[in-house]
Amino acid sequence: MHFSLSEIIRYSDSVERQCGRQGVPAILFFNEKWEDNEKRITICYSNLMREKNQKNLECYAQAIHTAGKFLRAKELISVKKLEFLSEHLCTLDQEARSLLPQATLTFPKPVNSSNESQIAQQFEKLKEHFLSKLKGLTEQTEEELAPTPSTQAFLRSEEFLALKNYRDNVLKNDRRDHTFFGIDFTVQKKYDALNLVIEAFEQQKTMAGIENVMRSFYNTKNMSTASAKSIYDYLNTGQNLFTWFFGFLGLKQTTTVNLIDALNVRMELIQNQNEHELSGLVV
């Protein structure tokens, strides 16, 4: 049994905050290795078992919280690591209810392991399908080539920054659970899917490469199969009944796809400007 990483981070952070700052120094940087995080959790656990007080509880919660953020930042998530953190989260909950009797604590529910495995497999298929569309871009992503001014303008545009902001400040921390009329509309791994697209853009050095990524994304529209969704269809799957229903009818798109549509308009404006400047050079 284990809990999702987002729930481990949420709950340990909640306990840490409700300890009321007992003089525990803030951790400004992640440990370099997972083993360092494990060791710190074990030490904090031993200290709490030896002397049960709110300060040691805060240290323990902070260690679990930091380890969870380390896994998310380094993308080193595995069932074994989640089980380790989940075991300590259960202990944290038990001690928190004793040492923080007035706290508001909402303990997470364990994940369905078989369902989680299926989601991971489907995402890998989605990733493989999208990246296969970009195989022809290798000559445009050589590190020794500097991005062209137009490419830099695209990557610094308001539309591209808005897309990155949505990824980092909405999808990355999205813990919404959407169930309507017995139908589960939860869309997991949207952050990872959008991150694939953004990183593909950031690897490009020319506007030809940018356009190739954009067209590769749009070319996956309505290309889902019975075993896996395409990246366009996945990112256009709504996370509430209204978006899902009208999206099913083809009448509404998700925020993610709307942001990419706006970015596509920006790309075309930059390309048109380049063509206009080139035409002015023709004698």
The tens digit of pLDDT for each residue in 166-212 reads: 988 888 765 454 433 333 334 457 888 899 999 999 999 999 999 99
Percent of the chain with pLDDT over 90: 44
Q: What is the pLDDT of residue 92?
A: 95
> pLDDT digits over 107-120, tens only?
988 876 555 666 67
Q: At 180, is the secondary structure helix, strand, or coil?
A: strand
Q: At 244, is the secondary structure helix, strand, or coil?
A: helix
Looking at residues 23-30, what average pLDDT do you find? Answer: 65
The yes-or-no verdict on residue 266 having pLDDT over 80 is: yes
User: Are 55 and 23 in contact, with CB atoms under 8 Å apart?
Assistant: yes
Alpha helices in the chain (DSSP H): 5-18, 34-50, 54-74, 79-99, 113-132, 149-155, 158-166, 190-202, 207-218, 231-235, 241-248, 255-281
Q: Distance between CA atoms of 261 and 129, rounded to whole angstroms?
A: 21
Q: Distance between CA atoms of 201 and 196, rounded to whole angstroms?
A: 9
Q: Distance between CA atoms of 108 and 2, rounded to whole angstroms?
A: 10
The yes-or-no verdict on residue 5 having pLDDT over 60 is: yes
Q: Distance between CA atoms of 25 and 66, rounded to whole angstroms?
A: 13
To which H or E segment does residue 104 belong? none
CA angle, residues 65, 69, 70, in degrees to nearest 5:
115
67-76, 135-144, 160-169 — which one is most confidently predicted on average?
A: 160-169
> pLDDT digits over 217-242, tens only?
999 888 776 666 788 888 887 644 44
Q: Distance between CA atoms of 61 and 19, rounded to whole angstroms?
A: 9
